[in-house]
A = this chain, B = another copy of it.
């Protein structure tokens, strides 16, 4: 992979571009950003040079986006959204105070859904503080029961008793492998029996992903298994040809469209599951907790 190809643009410049689009002038964006007008002008100029595009049409009455600028700005907002999600997630990991919503989430939820919710929460309840802990589904339930957490998010099929649960989202595990894996050349769907005879990469015991897989293949014993404790590690191992795996669609969406992993059709395997929120029955949630709970159920 060539890495040093081109200097990455500056996030500050990207944000500034979005501010220019909002305010209609470079100077206005500079004021909002708390920097001087010449600095803003220069930042934008550097960004234009780096991208090789004219983004703004400078008029003496202000600046407006060119056609190219309009597109780049839209794409820039996507980068800023992802950055917001990262920062919101980091803030939730760092927070330890007591006036905070305490959340426990299983890996898939924490990785792929939680940061979005947190970023959105920040725009709705900007004062809300969230402490996020990541553990497997079993641990999440225990934490909620013990009162260590206000909200929990799990991905395992088991029904915890004594807790209020609600489905946040339907999820599905997919059988995937590296391009060129024998499974990719099959004409018939893969069955549970087929899985037993192949090298598999799986998540650790206690993870929701593992539970769904074991439920789907029944009591049969899996052989030749490489066990790893994170979705990222699993994906890397599978892409490197260590075997096939069964993993959440959320976790491999990017890899599938990019083609670095391919989905294998299956037959007779029920790999659907639900991502659910759990909380103590009868507990009165704080406003921030209620907001997060509501957010996480939207679409």
0/1 interface trace, chain A 214-253, chain B, CB 8 Å (1 if under): 0000000000000000111000100000000000000000
Instruction: Please determine whether A3 and B21 come into contact, CB atoms closer than 8 angstroms.
Output: no
Considering only residues 72-94 of chain A, those with a C-beta below 8 Å from chain B are: 72-76, 78-79, 81-83, 85-87, 89-90, 93-94
A111 CB contact (under 8 Å) in B53, B71, B230: B71
Question: Which chain B residues border A12 with CB–CB below 8 Å?
Answer: 8
* A6 in contact (CB, < 8 A): yes
Considering only residues 1-53 of chain A, those with a C-beta below 8 Å from chain B are: 1-6, 8-12, 14-15, 18-19, 21-22, 32-34, 51-53
**Closest-CB distance, A168 to chain B (whole angstroms):** 13
* A142 in contact (CB, < 8 A): no
- Which candidate, A116-124, A144-152, A153-161, A277-285, is the interface stretch facing chain B? A116-124
Instruction: Please determine whether B111 and A74 come into contact, CB atoms closer than 8 angstroms.
Output: yes
- Which candidate, A180-188, A198-206, A255-263, A268-276, is the interface stretch facing chain B? A255-263
A71 CB contact (under 8 Å) in B32, B79, B110: B110
Instruction: Please determine whether B89 and A78 come into contact, CB atoms closer than 8 angstroms.
Output: no
Instruction: Please determine whether B68 and A93 come into contact, CB atoms closer than 8 angstroms.
Output: yes
Instruction: Please determine whether A75 and B85 come into contact, CB atoms closer than 8 angstroms.
Output: yes
Considering only residues 92-138 of chain A, those with a C-beta below 8 Å from chain B are: 93-94, 110-112, 115-116, 120, 123-124, 126, 134
Number of copies: 2
**Closest-CB distance, A186 to chain B (whole angstroms):** 20
* A59 in contact (CB, < 8 A): no
A4 CB contact (under 8 Å) in B8, B15, B256: B15
Instruction: Please determine whether B254 and A81 come into contact, CB atoms closer than 8 angstroms.
Output: yes
A8 CB contact (under 8 Å) in B15, B21, B75, B112: B15
Central interface residue in A32, A87, A123, by most chain B CB within 10 Å: A87
A79 CB contact (under 8 Å) in B19, B75, B83, B116: B83
Central interface residue in A18, A33, A90, by most chain B CB within 10 Å: A90
Q: What is A's interface to B at a CB cutoff of 8 Å?
A: 1-6, 8-12, 14-15, 18-19, 21-22, 32-34, 51-53, 67-68, 70-76, 78-79, 81-83, 85-87, 89-90, 93-94, 110-112, 115-116, 120, 123-124, 126, 134, 230-232, 236, 254, 256-260, 295, 298-299
* Between-chain CB contacts (< 8 Å), 29 pairs: A1-B18, A3-B32, A3-B34, A5-B34, A8-B12, A8-B83, A9-B11, A14-B86, A53-B94, A68-B93, A70-B232, A71-B89, A75-B82, A75-B89, A75-B111, A75-B115, A78-B82, A78-B115, A79-B79, A79-B83, A79-B86, A81-B82, A120-B257, A120-B259, A123-B258, A123-B259, A123-B260, A256-B298, A257-B295
Pairs A-B, 5 closest by C-beta atoms: A4-B34, A75-B86, A79-B82, A52-B94, A51-B90
